[in-house]
Structure 1
């Protein structure tokens, strides 16, 4: 709904673009607060490459041609790996990345340094997509979609005196983030087809990390159905909660839009 925002003031706003195999979306908002907020999804052609979809997206979306105060590019993918900050060196970026992930041609390795969790996320993006985005938005910041979730949930996990597991549900994948009072224990994204897959990965991570069924907590996020998964997990875990975006993000303008992804909300809250 463009009437929610005055695009003649775009140079005062932040543009955040999210790219995913599930579809693209973008938000425009005032980083200084207020009710100025705009969110728009953009369907993609699943038979086309990411670069081809990005090229069409940039050409067809009028709002992207305006000047902005800041532009964020959020890449949702499973091709990322976390590294402790004390082990990270710029010149070792590619080596560290390919120690954990299979090598692919024609990709660029990027990094996010995360101060709150004392870690670094290395992630990849195909070179042609990177060229299109860098030419269109030369001052933009690139983020792995997992990065703002880590920063936001690391702080969130310090509440209380127990360990917490967070699961962000997507149409064809699930982000699983485990913390012990702010310290990341596990960060991974799994491909899924149905609710049973989500249940399997969550319970497997819970068991492998030795979480306590009576004491520790699981929190479910995302704009996919969560009630069925909650009911499936409750016989095994005592504390299973569904994150309510409006309560979680202080009833912000972004939190009132059901379609906005949790990772994008996390990025906005960490700005």
Structure 2
């Protein structure tokens, strides 16, 4: 189990049918967490990249890693997949239908013949998140696990952000950062939430877009707190840039009660927050 970030001493292979398995998958790699019925994390696998010379090699790399992982060949109570991509749209419940979702998605993103649409109802937003996933990845996961529920990676991010107590005058700004894009939400007590996503290439781009949101939404740079998670660390260039202009910048970490290996700095664990929160939000 050298590929595990940590494993709780109470983890029992004979009781996995009582556990919930959550898998984070994107075109670049995957990781997974295992939680018990009390939503306590028992095991966490470090992020493992795919061979990416071609689509076929990426898929074969994924298949091999799943089949060779002992824990992924056990039976679980529930199996959830968190798909990471920037191709998603939010549709209010009152307007949702499969046809409307299909048309709305294509207004914002290209939908190739190799992709299929999935949807999650985010009750806290009274909306559906509609997203695409490559059909070949979906088939591999279904063949391996049979019963799988698919979620977009923003599902736990939005759900947890909405649960935070809103601040009327100086709201908190929540940002989830991925490799080349990020999602942002500003919860509102009257359900008039600001939600958007941006693509970026440089740290300066990321900082610029966030600061521009502050400007456009007329937020107070000294009072509204920026709360960041995902593929980001405290000492990163983008965080240091943001701290020059914003008084309150917080990089979220995993709950301290988790047992982790000392070989990996705790500050790197914020990339797993959505993965672990997925089971907690279901």
TM-score range, shorter chain: 0.7 to 0.9
Q: Separation in 1 of the partners of 2:70 and 2:179? A: 27
When the two chains are superposed, the root-mean-square deviation of aligned CA atoms in Å is 2.6
Which residue number in structure 2 is paired with residue 265 of structure 1? 276
Give the superposition deviation at 1:32: 1.6
Q: What stretches of structure 1 of length at least 5 have no aligned partner?
A: none
In structure 1, the residue matched to 2:249 is 240
Instruction: List alignment gaps of at least 5 residues for structure 2.
Output: 1-5
Say if 1:102 and 1:33 are closer, same or farther in 2 by CA, change over 3 A: closer
**1:164 counterpart = 2:172:** yes
TM-superposed deviation, 1:97: 1.1
In the alignment, the residues of structure 2 paired with residue 255 and residue 173 of structure 1 have an alpha-carbon distance, to the nearest angstrom, of: 28
Q: Which residue does 1:217 correspond to in 2?
A: 225
Q: 1:60 aligns with which of 61, 68, 82?
A: 68
Q: Return the TM-score normalized by structure 2.
A: 0.83
Is 1:94 the counterpart of 2:102? The answer is: yes
Give 1:229's aligned residue. 238
2:3 corresponding residue in structure 1: none
Structure 2 match to 1:21: 27
Cα separation, partners in 2 of 1:105 and 1:33, compared to 1, 3 Å: closer
In the alignment, is the contact (CA less than 8 A) between 1:29 and 1:38 conserved in 2?
no
Q: How far off its partner does 1:191 sit?
A: 3.6
Moved more, 175-184 or 13-22: 175-184
Q: 2:7 and 2:248 mapped to 1: Cα distance?
A: 40
Q: CA deviation at 1:128?
A: 1.3
Post-superposition shift, 1:159? 5.3
Aligned length: 266
Which aligned pairs between 1:33-182 and structure 2 lie closer than 5 A?
33-34=39-40, 36-49=42-55, 50-156=58-164, 158=166, 161-181=169-189
Return 22-31 or 160-169, whichever deviates more: 160-169
Specify the SS of the correspondent of 2:219.
Answer: coil
- Residue of structure 2 equivalent to 1:203: 211
2: CA distance, partners of 1:255 / 1:175: 27
Distance 1:232 1:112, change over 3 A: same
Shift in Å at residue 18 of structure 1? Answer: 0.5
The CA distance in 2 between the partners of 1:76 and 1:97, in whole Å, is 16
Matching of residue 253 in structure 1 with residue 262 in structure 2: no
CA contact (8 A) 2:8 2:259 kept: no
C-alpha displacement at 1:107, in angstroms?
0.6
Partner deviation per Cα, 1:39-63 (whole Å, 9 max, x = no partner):
3432311223253333223222221
C-alpha contact (below 8 Å) 2:183/2:197 kept by paired residues: yes
User: What SS is found at the alignment partner of 2:81?
Assistant: strand
Distance 1:232 1:40, change over 3 A: closer
